[in-house]
Amino acid sequence: QVQLVESGGGLVQAGGSLRLSCAASGRTFSSYAMGWFRQAPGKEREFVAAINWSGDITYCSDSVKGRFTISRDNAKNTVYLQMNSLKPEDTAVYYCTAGAGSVRVSPWAYDYWGQGTQVTVSS
């Protein structure tokens, strides 16, 4: 069992930066692939980024590539999402997720989800 708690969301102007953190409980954190998804009002949940258990494989969606970076610190049971050059279209609730296996883009591949943190980018 893994419990995930996101933090770091907030209101930022376009062009600004935020770093989201996701703290995980459980001794098996380092064995899970971790991901970030987001959901804007009226839209489906969208894949943002994922990282494998060791941190040497990462993947970001085309919409955030070059602006967002996912990383993890297994000693701290934490995964991060560094978001730079934010745009109004990045406004959404961001969810942290964990799953067995490698990097996946489908939300169905992940077993555990956090409660989400709101990111709002003003123009």
Question: What's the average model confidence in pLDDT over 69-87?
Answer: 97
* Residue-level pLDDT at 122: 97
CA distance 31 to 45: 24
CA distance 71 to 57: 10
Q: What percentage of the chain reaches a pLDDT higher than 70?
A: 99
CA distance 96 to 115: 8
Query: Is pLDDT at 102 greater than 90 in this prediction?
Result: no
**What are 41-55's pLDDT values in tens digits?**
999 999 999 999 999
* Residue-level pLDDT at 45: 96
**What are 84-101's pLDDT values in tens digits?**
999 999 999 999 999 988
